[in-house]
Amino acid sequence: MKSPKRLQALIDEGLIDSVQRQLMSGKEAQVFVVRSGGETRCAKVYKEATNRSFRQAIDYTENRRVKNSRQARAMAKGTKFGREAQEAAWQSAEVDALYRLAGAGVRVPKPYNFFEGVLLMELVCDEHGDAAPRLNDVLFSAEDARAHHATLITEVVRMLVTAGVVHGDLSEFNILLGADGPVIIDLPQAVDAAGNNHAQRMLLRDVSNLRDFFGRFAPELLKTDFGPEIWTLYQRGALHPETPLTGLFEHKTGTVDLTGVMREIDDARAEDAARRLRMAQA
């Protein structure tokens, strides 16, 4: 196929040999199958961030570092330079998280390079050598659902304790079913667990999404409550990748945080709208 303009720079630099086909197009990026160094890989070409709400951006980018105070001021004022700096920070957050997680042994695509707004990384394939499907596009037996759920809970823990990262938007739409099991993708919204005040809420939501999806195939999973158990052990410094988890958690009763409840409702509505959009685009 004809090389897209954004990928021509990588071809000129010798990072890509050729573009094979477009794999997908979402609201944040387009992904292409490419040949590089004699191997088949994928190239994620970022779009401008025009579909993320301001409050979500604030939640995700809290305490993220920028290069200098000028960039920080411009981002706060919302100037053109500031928006460009914010978009660059959003993209580099995924790249940084991907390298950190791959280095920690988390099941993510292997990153190779990031150049001119294009992330070159491993193409995750299924057992037939084709591009791996998203979990949302696969039907599971109860046994497979339990196995994949357990694998992903372990990966959530590994992300948290070995890399200090919370995915922030984990669901069946950004997990691929590779030949050897689930692989986590799409990390521009990843947050630092220790440096972001919303990390706990995001982790609980990530784990709830996994429970709700796999619970469609293995209903007993709907009774589990791994999220609070994971976060409580993490706060105590007692969480490790090998820590045995029960999925049971006794919630303490007390004063209701109405503001927090309303935020959760808003997040649920926004997430439902995003899911519907992704399903419509699929």
Indicate which residue of 59, 169, 192, 206 is catalytic. Answer: 169
Mean of the per-residue pLDDT values of the chain = 83
User: Is the per-residue pLDDT at 171 higher than 90?
Assistant: yes
Residue 77 has pLDDT above 60, yes or no: no
* Residue 258: inside a domain: yes
Q: Is residue 17 in a domain?
A: no
Assess whether pLDDT exceeds 90 at residue 88. no
Has residue 138 been placed in a domain? yes
pTM, whole model, 2 decimals?
A: 0.79
Let me know if residue 97 belongs to a domain.
yes
What does the alpha-carbon distance between residue 30 and residue 19 come to, in Å, rounded to a whole number? 13
User: Is 215:225 a contact under the CB 8 Å cutoff?
Assistant: no
Average pLDDT, integer, range 177-184: 97
36 is a domain residue:
no
Distance CA 149, CA 134 (A): 14
Confidence of residue 269 (pLDDT cuts 50, 70, 90): low
Residue 52 confidence (pLDDT) = 44
Among residues 65, 186, 91, which one has the least CA distance to residue 135? 186
At position 166, the amino acid (one-letter code) is V
Q: What is the spatial distance between Cα 213 and Cα 153, in angstroms, rounded to a whole number?
A: 13
Residue 12 lies in a domain: no
Decide if pLDDT at 134 tops 90: yes
Could you read off the pLDDT of 226-260 as tens digits, one per residue? 999 999 999 999 999 999 999 988 877 655 565 66
Within 10 angstroms of residue 193's Cβ, the number of other Cβ atoms is: 19
Q: Is 266 a catalytic residue?
A: no
**10 in any annotated domain:** no
* pLDDT(37) > 80: yes
CATH number of the domain that residue 266 is part of: 1.10.510.10
18, pLDDT greater than 70: yes
Indicate whether 127 belongs to any domain: no
Write down the catalytic residue from 12, 137, 144, 186: 186
Look up 272 and say whether it is catalytic.
Answer: no
Q: Give me the pLDDT at residue 266, please.
A: 63
Say yes or no to pLDDT of 20 above 50: yes
Per-residue pLDDT, 45: 92
The predicted pLDDT at position 29 comes to: 86
In sequence order, what E strands does the chain have? 18-25, 29-36, 39-46, 111-115, 118-122, 165-166, 175-178, 181-184, 191-192
Instruction: Centre a 10 Å sphere on the Cβ of residue 96 and count the other Cβ atoms it contains.
Output: 17
Contact 104, 163 (CB under 8 A): yes
Count: domains in the chain: 1
Tokens of 152: 């992903």
Domain limits at 78? 52-109+133-281
Q: How does 221-249 read in b/e, with b if 16+ C-beta sit within 10 Å?
A: beebbbbbbbbebbeeeebeeeeebebee
